[in-house]
Structure 1
C-alpha cells in the first residue's frame, strides 16, 4: 500500500462477532488527495473522520453493489466500524434499504462521539464496543442468526433454496426481509460476498477460479462486473487505486 497511507484492521471481541466484521483506521498522511476505486465488500461502514475540510463527520455507508471512483482527501483520518448485516436489526435498529451504493451523514454527536475520540484508535474501539454491546437486546431472532452464520461461512457460495431449507424460512420471506432491510435480494448479496472472497485469491496472484466459481469464464465475468477490470489488471493494482485489494496485500 502507498506509504503515505497508514492503515490497520482489528477484529472485534467475542461479544460482537455476530454484528461487527472489523474495526479499521485509515490516515492519509500526505498533503495530496488520493484517487481510489471503491469495491463492493458486503459490509456496512460507520465512518468517523476528520480532515482540514471537515473537522468532524460521521457517515453511514450502505451496501455497495458496484465499483465506483472515490477520493481520499489529504490529511484525512478515519476510524471505521464495519458491520455484518445482523447489526442492522440489533445495533443500528433501522433499515438501510435506501442506502444501496450510497450513504448518509449522521448527527455529529451520534453515539456521543466527538472529534476527541479520533485521538487514539484503541480508546475509540473500546468506547464503540461498550456502546454497541449496550444496544444489543437480550433476545435476538435465532433464525436470523443462523441464516447469517451460513451465509458468511459459505462466503456467498450457497443458494437461496439451500438457506431456506436449513433455517426453515421460505425463500420468499427471506428475500422480502433482505429487500426491506438492506435494499437488495439475498442472491445479490451472496454474489457480492463471493466477489469479496475472490479478492483474497487475486491478492495471492491466483487468477483462476477457486471452488466458488463454475469456471474461468464466470470468474472473469464476475471480477469485471464488480471491479471494472479483468483479474490480471486487478492484480496489477496500478497506483494502489483498489485500496481494498491493497489492504489484503498488507495483511
Structure 2
C-alpha cells in the first residue's frame, strides 16, 4: 500500500471460516481526501468507521456487482468484517435481496462495538469473533446450505449450477429461490462475480488470458469489463492506484 493509505487483513480462525472471509482495516493517514475504487468480491461487509469530520458509525454494505468509486475522506479509519454468504442468514439474520446499491445504517452500539474498539485492529477482530461465535451458539446450520457454499468457494465459482446442485443435494430451483430471497441475485451471477475476483492475482501479474474456467478469451474480457469497467490490461495498470484490492496483491 501507499504511505497515505494503510490496509491490514486478518484471516478468521477455522471455527469461523465457513462464515467469515476476513477482518480488514483501511486507514487514510493523509490530510487529503483520496479517490479510490473497490471491486466486487462476492462478500458482504459490516463496516465501523469514523474520521476527524464524521462521527462513529456502523454500516451493512450491499453486495457489489460493479466497481464502486469512493471518496475516502482524510483521516478516516475503517475496521470491518467481510462475510461469506452463509452468514447472511445465520449471523446477520437478515436478507440483503432488497439492499443492492443501498447500504444499511446500523445502530451505533451494533455488536457492542464503539469508537474505542477502533484503536486496536487485533483486539477488534478478537472481539467481533467472540460476538459471532455467541450468535452461532446453539444454531443448526442446514447441511445443504453448508455444502453448497463450501463448493462455491472451493471452486471460486467455477462449478455450474447443475454441478453445485448435485454436490449439495439441493435442487437448482430451490437454490435459486434461496438466492433470490436472501441475496437478490441468481447463483449463476454470483459465481461469475467470484470467478472475476479470482482472476485479480493473475491480472496483477500481467496474465491476460482466462484461468478461471471462462469459455474463451472473449467471455473472459467481457466478464472483467462488466465488473470492473475496464479491460484486463487497463485493470493491470491500476491508474493512480485507485483499486485498493489490487494494491494489496503481490506483483509476482
Matched, 1:231 2:218: no
Runs of 5+ in structure 1 lacking a partner?
Answer: none
> Which structure features the higher share of helix residues?
1
The residue aligned with 1:129 is 129
Q: Which residue of 1 aligns with 2:158?
A: 157
Query: Kindly tell me: are residues 220 and 250 of structure 1, through their superposed partners in 2, closer, same or farther at Cα, counting changes over 3 Å?
Result: closer
Alignment of 1:147-186 (within 5 A): 147-186=148-187
Q: Distance in 1 between matches of 2:204 and 2:99?
A: 29
List alignment gaps of at least 5 residues for structure 2. Answer: none
Question: Following the alignment from structure 1 to structure 2, what is the Cα–Cα distance between the partners of residues 7 and 179?
Answer: 33
Moved over 4 A (4+): none
Give the corresponding residue for 2:68: 68
Q: What is the CA deviation profile of residues 192-243 of structure 1, one whole-angstrom value per residue up to 9, with x for unaligned ones?
A: 0010001121112211111421221111111111111111110000111111
Corresponding residue for 1:98?
98
Deviation at 1:34? 0.8
TM-score, structure 1 as length reference? 0.96
In structure 1, the residue corresponding to 2:131 is in which secondary structure? Answer: helix
CA–CA distance in structure 2, aligned partners of residues 177 and 48 of structure 1: 28
Contact 1:64 1:102 in 2 (8 A): no
Question: Mean Cα displacement is larger for which, 101-110 or 80-89?
Answer: 101-110
CA distance in 2, matches of 1:42, 1:211: 15
What is the distance in 1 between the residues matched to 2:226 and 2:211?
17
Q: In the alignment, which residue of structure 1 is the partner of 2:107?
A: 107
State how many pairs are aligned: 251
- For residue 155 of structure 1, give the secondary structure of its aligned residue in structure 2: coil
Q: Residue 10 of structure 2 contacts residue 125 of structure 2 at CA under 8 Å; is this kept in 1? A: no
- Aligned equivalents of 2:181 and 2:212: distance in 1? 31
DSSP 3-state at the match of 1:62: coil
Question: Can you list the C-alpha shifts for 1:47-106, whole angstroms capped at 9, x where unaligned?
Answer: 011112222010111211112311111110011100000111111111111222331110
Matched, 1:215 2:213: no
Match of 1:22 in 2: 22
SS in 2 for 1:64: coil
TM-score for the superposition, normalised by structure 2: 0.96
Instruction: State how far apart, in whole Å, the 2-side matches of 1:130 and 1:174 are.
Output: 30
Cα distance in 2, alignment partners of residues 37 and 211 from structure 1: 23
Q: CA RMSD in A?
A: 1.3
Q: Which residue of 1 aligns with 2:51?
A: 51
